[in-house]
A = this chain, B = another copy of it.
Amino acid sequence: MEHYIDKLKHSGLKLTPRRQAIIALFIERKSHLTPEKVWEYLKKKFSRCGLPGVYRNLESLVECGILTRIQQFDSKKHYSLCSIGYGHDHHHFICRKCNKVEEVDFCNFKVISRFIEDNLHAKVEAHQFQIQGLCSKCK
Tell me the A residues contacting B by CB distance below 8 Å: 69, 71, 73, 75, 77, 93, 95-96, 102, 104-108, 111-113, 115-116, 119-136, 139
Contacts and interface: CB of A to CB of B under 8 A. Distances in A.
A106 B133 CA distance: 21
A113 B93 CA distance: 10
Contact of A132 (B107, B119, B125, B130): B125
Given A75-B77, A129-B127, A132-B125, A93 B108 contact: no
A71 B125 contact: no
Task: Please give the count of copies of this chain that the complex contains.
Answer: 2
Contact of A130 (B75, B102, B127): B127
A108 to B, nearest CB: 6
A-side binding surface: helix, strand, loop or mixed? mixed
Given A71-B71, A73-B69, A115-B106, A126 B122 contact: no
19 contacts: A71-B71, A75-B75, A93-B122, A95-B122, A96-B125, A104-B115, A106-B116, A116-B131, A121-B136, A122-B135, A123-B133, A123-B134, A124-B133, A125-B132, A126-B132, A127-B129, A128-B128, A128-B130, A129-B130
Given A113-B131, A121-B136, 16 more contacts: A71-B71, A71-B128, A75-B75, A93-B120, A102-B120, A104-B120, A106-B115, A107-B112, A112-B131, A120-B135, A122-B133, A123-B133, A123-B134, A126-B133, A127-B131, A128-B129
